[in-house]
Chains A and B, each alone.
Chain A
Amino acid sequence: MSKDLLIKKPIFSSTALRDLLFNLISRDLKLKYQGSILGFLWSLVNPLMTLVIYSWVFLVLMKSSIPHFPIFLMAGILPWNFFANATMSSVDAFTGNASLIKKVPIPKTIFIGSLIGFNLVIFVMVLAIVLVAMPIFSVPYTFRLLLIIPGLIAEIALLIGLSLTVSTLNVLFHDTAHILEILLMAWFWVTPITYQMSFVPQRFDWLLELNPMTFIINIFQMAILGTGFHASFYIGLIEIFFVMAIGIWLYRKYRYDMVEWI
């Protein structure tokens, strides 16, 4: 393969690229909500149902002793939903945009960016409601809330790596989505969302440490509730960089070939 023989200026200026990203995100939001406020309420139904069901199961049936359980649950489940929804929709980022990718010299990663951006907007809107609801559950506001920002940065970094991985894999193997769906279900339960990390017997610590989402969810729980930081900071960071490296490597390996395969 000729490697560095292609000498060309980027076709998209950085302004055009930013506008394209913005337009793709706003297209998806428009299509989801069809321009209505009522549409946004639908995004709240899922977390609200989760809140009611899980609170009943964990508080009433299992007598969970986690303080402020509803807010604790939201602090974990909202970043989880962002993570799971963005990853799941990214599977189709290249295969679903095949007609564009084959016909326009468009930077393919823009589709990953737009799916992460779209899910980020929904996440931020729902999170804002939880933040407003905190006093109702007598959870005080503190400066720790600023930790949400590094939490988001870490989560987006992980998402970039994982989305590049699954979207490229889906070009190679068309059953990637099925496998990912099963993996995400298991992944949810090895992440301390419905339980606290301190409940887990020590012999399973490695399993939680292996999971970069433990680290990320823990940041959000700490930011919103002041829950102690149980995850290992450096291991979490290393894992995120590792996933990013895999995603970037895989994408770069197949970015030209995939145009002929999709």
Chain B
Amino acid sequence: METAITVERITKVFNLTADRRRSLKGTVIRFLKGEKKAPDVLIKPLNNVSFSVKRGEVVGIVGENGVGKSTLLKIIAGIIKPTSGSIVTHGRVAGLLEIGLGFHPDLTGRENAILYGSILGLPKNQVSDSLDKIAEFAELESFMEVPLKKYSSGMQMRLGFSVAMTVDPDILLLDEVFSVGDQKFQQKSFSRLEGMIRDNKAVVLVSHDLNVMQRLCNKAVFLSKSGKTIVGNADEVLNMYDSYMKTASV
């Protein structure tokens, strides 16, 4: 099977020195006074992480808060750069790290759908052609010409999710975008997502919901707080994570 993502010895160091965005005025004053820079506060969420994803594989990333799960997705998506290590991707990448980005309250549902589609990298005609299907799936057929500010938050999420489901990448990155709307829509959206994930793509997903992970993944990456990375078969790694979390919480 063709390898779609190769992550090799990725390390990410963040410098948390407070107040990165200073004022120019303050900077000039500090320089004139000869003050020293605040000492760097470094954290290392990702330490030497390596794994690969083949087409058709669904890889789940688990770990406690702050171990760098979202950071890893952002690095694969090319949003941020690793401090060291390399990443190679083959094919078009789509990252759904949040649903409904760029929505504007004064624009109508239809206008927002087209704008959000193009923010996700979809050509305009692709979104306009499937606009009816998007409205139908979101159950918003009669609300497409209504400004978004009149929508409930559930309606906004449904619209966002339905647009996001029109992306058709080779590599799909998902961050906790599994539960949208009420129970009925949640089931519908989950099976839609499942269909998309099973469509011979390389998928990397992040979730705290172990049931979701067990159902979808066939491979898992456990980023532990100690900086160790465990990669392997989904069942094994997820069980390991589960028992780790149970002992940690006692």
Contacts and interface: CB of A to CB of B under 8 A. Distances in A.
A107 to B, nearest CB: 10
B133 interface: no
A11 B94 contact: yes
23 contacts: A1-B84, A2-B82, A2-B86, A6-B81, A6-B86, A7-B89, A8-B88, A9-B93, A11-B78, A23-B115, A27-B104, A27-B107, A34-B106, A100-B119, A101-B79, A104-B79, A106-B119, A173-B21, A173-B22, A174-B21, A176-B24, A256-B80, A262-B21
Looking at B21, B23, B82, B107, the one whose CB has the most chain A CB atoms below 10 A away is B21
Contacts of A104: 79, 95, 97, 101, 119-120
Interface stretch (B33-41, B52-60, B121-129, B228-236): B121-129
A243 to B, nearest CB: 19
Interface in A154-194: 169, 171-176, 179
Given A2-B81, A8-B78, A23-B114, A103 B124 contact: no
Interface stretch (A13-21, A54-62, A123-131, A201-209): A13-21
Interface of A: 1-2, 5-9, 11-13, 15-16, 19-20, 22-24, 27, 30-31, 34, 99-106, 169, 171-176, 179, 256, 259-262
Interface in B84-109: 84-95, 97-98, 101-102, 104, 106-107
B237 interface: no
Given A103-B97, A259-B79, A11 B23 contact: no
Contacts of A31: 104, 106-107
Given A20-B119, A105-B93, A105-B95, A6 B78 contact: yes
A1 B106 CA distance: 42
B184 interface: no
Contacts of B83: 1-2
B46 to A, nearest CB: 13
Contact of A23 (B78, B93, B118): B118
Interface residues of B, number: 45
Nearest to B127: A19
B25 interface: yes
B88 A7 contact: yes
Contact of A30 (B21, B82, B107, B122): B107
Contacts of B101: 99-100, 103-104
A20 to B, nearest CB: 4
Nearest to B93: A11
A140 B111 CA distance: 43
A70 to B, nearest CB: 36
Nearest to A34: B106
B67 to A, nearest CB: 17
Contacts of B223: none
Contacts of A260: 14, 80
Given A9-B91, A16-B121, 16 more contacts: A7-B86, A8-B78, A8-B93, A16-B118, A20-B118, A23-B114, A23-B115, A23-B118, A27-B104, A30-B111, A34-B106, A101-B79, A103-B79, A172-B21, A175-B23, A256-B80
A24 B118 CA distance: 9
A100 B123 CA distance: 18
Given A1-B83, A259-B80, A260-B14, A9 B119 contact: no
A108 to B, nearest CB: 10
B78 to A, nearest CB: 5
B27 interface: yes
A13 B92 CA distance: 9
Nearest to A3: B81
B246 interface: no
B20 interface: yes
A169 to B, nearest CB: 8
Contact of B24 (A1, A103, A173, A262): A173
A130 B59 CA distance: 61
